[in-house]
């Protein structure tokens, strides 16, 4: 018998399942997007981390370079108690937010912060296996803090003056740029300024940000990472 199977090969080996040291080098405001399933709109933010123990050979500006692999995760930009971002950040810092912090926390603070990422594998709707971030804790005491090898990137739509078009830095990967261009902010600022954005519900829950499961780890630092 000769059996044909739908096997999709990866040009790059997946980051393995496990808990790995990492450092956040990118915090990107993706803007407001509508979830067609819930028919609600949510502001999204994306974090990217470097994993220095997993390397890849690339070419940067025509020069060969060996850089750490990267992994990302996006969230609804809300600290609602039933949302995904709040427990993720609290697990990362090793402490609950105070009421004062909950009134307005600048997520840009996590840029350059180290942590232990819990990486798992999932299967997409098309049957493709992929690596994703499931949880995070502070860096273990036994591991020395380290800095990102890539330039730290922070992009905020709030920093763009009212009435100005949105200009996305070239350093932001193309696939992330495309997500920003799908946002309501891009449509209003760069496509049709006459369109008025509809109401946004940052407190809405039930989005597809992933599972909030975190390992309980004793080997944590005494000082908060942010």
Q: What is the pLDDT of residues 200-223, one digit of tens each?
A: 444 333 344 443 333 333 444 456
* Cα gap 12→219, rounded to integer Å: 32
Grade residue 119 by pLDDT with cuts at 50, 70 and 90: very high
Grade residue 35 by pLDDT with cuts at 50, 70 and 90: confident
DSSP structure string for 172-206: S-HHHHHHHHTSHHHIIIII-TTPPP----TT---
| Residue 96 dihedral angles phi and psi, to the nearest 5° | -70, 155
Structural domain tally of the chain? Answer: 1
Q: What is the mean pLDDT of the chain?
A: 84
Residue 28 lies in a domain: yes
Residue 106 lies in a domain: yes
Grade residue 192 by pLDDT with cuts at 50, 70 and 90: confident
Residue whose pair of structure tokens reads 């981390």 in the numeric block: 49
- Residue among 145, 119, 118, 133 at smallest CA distance from 226: 145
Grade residue 153 by pLDDT with cuts at 50, 70 and 90: very high
At 93 the pLDDT is: 95
Residue 86 lies in a domain: yes
Higher pLDDT, 195 or 144: 144
- Work out whether the CA dihedral 45, 111, 87, 214 comes out positive or negative: positive
**Least confidently predicted of 153-162, 163-172, 185-194, 208-217:** 208-217
**Is 214 exposed, middle or buried, given 0-12, 13-18 or 19+ CB atoms closer than 10 A?**
middle
* Cα gap 66→26, rounded to integer Å: 19
**Is 154 exposed, middle or buried, given 0-12, 13-18 or 19+ CB atoms closer than 10 A?**
middle
- Residue among 102, 126, 134 at smallest CA distance from 212: 134
Residue 150 lies in a domain: yes
Report the half-sphere exposure of 67 (CA within 13 A, side-chain side): 16
Residue 10 lies in a domain: no
Question: What would the mean pLDDT of 36-51 be, rounded to a whole number?
Answer: 90
Identify the domain containing residue 114 by its residue range: 18-191
Grade residue 79 by pLDDT with cuts at 50, 70 and 90: very high
Residue 202 lies in a domain: no
Higher pLDDT, 35 or 27: 27
């Amino acid at each position: 018998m000769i059996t044909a199977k739908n096997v999709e090969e990866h040009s790059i080996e997946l980051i393995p399942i496990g808990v790995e040291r990492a450092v956040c080098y990118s915090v990107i405001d993706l803007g407001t997007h509508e979830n067609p399933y819930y028919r609600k709109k949510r502001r999204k933010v994306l974090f990217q981390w470097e994993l220095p123990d997993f390397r890849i050979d690339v070419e940067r500006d025509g020069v060969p370079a060996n850089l750490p692999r990267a992994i990302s995760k996006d969230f609804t930009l809300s600290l609602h108690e039933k949302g995904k971002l709040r427990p993720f950040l609290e697990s990362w810092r090793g402490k609950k937010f105070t009421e004062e912090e909950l009134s307005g926390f600048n997520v840009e603070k996590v840029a350059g912060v180290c942590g232990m990422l819990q990486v798992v594998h999932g299967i997409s709707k098309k049957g493709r296996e992929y690596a994703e971030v499931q949880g995070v804790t502070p860096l273990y005491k036994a591991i020395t803090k380290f800095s990102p090898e890539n330039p730290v990137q922070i992009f905020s739509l709030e920093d763009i003056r009212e009435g100005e078009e949105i200009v996305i830095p070239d350093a932001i990967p193309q696939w992330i740029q495309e997500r920003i261009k799908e946002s309501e902010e891009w449509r209003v600022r760069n496509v049709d300024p006459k369109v008025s954005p509809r109401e946004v519900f940052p407190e809405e829950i039930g989005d597809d940000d992933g599972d909030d499961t975190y390992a309980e780890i004793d080997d944590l630092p005494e000082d908060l990472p942010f």
